[in-house]
């Protein structure tokens, strides 16, 4: 197994793959971090206190990590995925299965992460690519705590192959034939987590939190359906499962960012204080652009965009959501 990306999730996936008997080559962008990880058997920046099994070989060379790999997991931050794979595509074995584990929507093109990979790598990679997503905190997966996720792709045989390869007694995988729905849910849940975190940071209570989570689900489902997704996807692990975890779990980077915004901190100060990437910040901008292109109403995303990019007061943003004209709740996901 080759894993491209040595952040918290990439490291946790490497530990999991080693636990099911795979030999793993883990590519780490930062050369000094790669060297330390190889020596100390720990990712002290992104996943401290988690020991790397001996089956994991850490490297700063993408070519070394990809040579001979039968399966490859791409788990780099969404905003650098195109750059990395545009340079590394020639190293990917022509018959390797590519597992996309990046969550996000590219700014400008409005492509999901698998779309970015398809363009960057080219060839027939679309035919041998699946997406991995679901309610999974890296730290818990690394500890071997129970978890479940989805392998999504159009080819049922391919998704089943990956499912069987990764499944374990602690980490259960389900297959899904709706990759666009899974990827939209995976991306937009980070935006909603910022909104819910902001709400909690303002001290607005459990009722407000529940309302935001529920209407956030409607919002991300509405965009996904406009792009051709199956509505049932949003009721599953990649939809409501990942949304609830990311909006309410204490390990959520996007929720934490929202909490700090709600308590009055500036975005620049928050992002400068941690090496961890909160994907929802960039996704808010790209999701807003995609929704406008598709003519989909997304009021929560619009208000969080205002908070992140237009210095909008967080309390005013959430009050604006409550003061919108009355709507009816129905199966068309009207907010």
The catalytic residue positions are: 189
Torsion angle of C-alpha atoms 206, 211, 216, 218, degrees rounded to 10: 150
Helix axes of 179-201 and 113-121: crossing angle, nearest 10 degrees: 130
Q: Taking a C-beta distance cutoff of 8 angstroms, is the pair 286, 111 a contact?
A: no
Both tokens of residue 273?
């204080």
In whole angstroms, give the CA distance from residue 191 to residue 200: 15
Neighbours of 106 (CB within 10 A): 21
Nearest to 96 by CA among 182, 165, 18, 167: 165
30 half-sphere exposure, CB direction, 13 A CA radius: 11
Question: b/e map of 184-204 (b: 16 or more CB within 10 Å)?
Answer: bbbbbbbbbbbbbbbbbbbeb
In whole angstroms, give the CA distance from residue 284 to residue 192: 9
Nearest to 59 by CA among 21, 80, 88, 101: 88
Burial of 209 per CB tally in 10 Å (0-12, 13-18, 19+): middle
In whole angstroms, give the CA distance from residue 29 to residue 69: 19
Alpha carbon separation from 178 to 7, 96, 159, 241, 316 (Å, rounded): 27, 21, 11, 16, 37
Helices (H) and strands (E) in the chain, counts: 15, 10
């Amino acid at each position: 197994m080759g894993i491209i990306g040595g952040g918290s999730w990439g490291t946790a996936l490497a530990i999991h793959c080693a636990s099911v008997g795979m030999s793993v080559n883990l590519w780490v962008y930062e050369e000094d971090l790669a060297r330390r990880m190889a020596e100390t058997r720990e990712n002290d920046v992104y996943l401290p206190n988690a020991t790397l099994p001996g089956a994991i070989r850490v490297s700063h060379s993408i070519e070394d990590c990809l040579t001979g790999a039968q399966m490859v997991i791409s788990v780099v931050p969404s905003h650098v995925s195109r750059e990395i794979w545009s340079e590394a595509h020639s190293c990917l074995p022509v018959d390797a299965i590519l597992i996309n584990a990046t969550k996000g929507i590219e700014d400008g093109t409005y492509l999901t992460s698998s779309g970015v990979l398809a363009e960057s790598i080219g060839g027939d990679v679309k035919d041998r690519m699946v997406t991995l997503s679901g309610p999974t905190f890296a730290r818990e997966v690394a500890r071997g705590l129970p978890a479940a996720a989805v392998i999504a792709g159009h080819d049922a045989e391919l998704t089943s192959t990956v499912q069987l390869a990764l499944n374990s007694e602690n980490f259960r995988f389900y297959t899904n034939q709706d990759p666009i729905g899974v990827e939209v849910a995976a991306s937009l849940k980070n935006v909603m987590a910022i909104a819910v975190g902001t709400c909690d940071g303002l001290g607005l209570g459990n009722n407000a939190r529940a309302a935001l989570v529920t209407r956030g689900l409607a919002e991300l489902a509405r965009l996904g359906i406009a792009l051709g997704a199956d509505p049932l996807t949003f009721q599953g692990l990649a939809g409501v499962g990942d949304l609830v975890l990311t909006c309410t779990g204490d390990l959520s980077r996007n929720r934490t960012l929202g909490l700090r915004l709600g308590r009055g901190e500036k975005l620049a100060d928050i992002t400068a204080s941690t090496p961890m990437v909160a994907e929802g910040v960039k996704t808010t901008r790209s999701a807003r652009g995609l929704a406008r292109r598709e003519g989909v109403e997304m009021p929560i995303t619009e208000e969080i965009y205002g908070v992140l990019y237009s210095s909008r007061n967080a309390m005013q943003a959430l009050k604006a959501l409550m003061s919108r004209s009355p709507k009816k709740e129905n199966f068309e996901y009207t907010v």
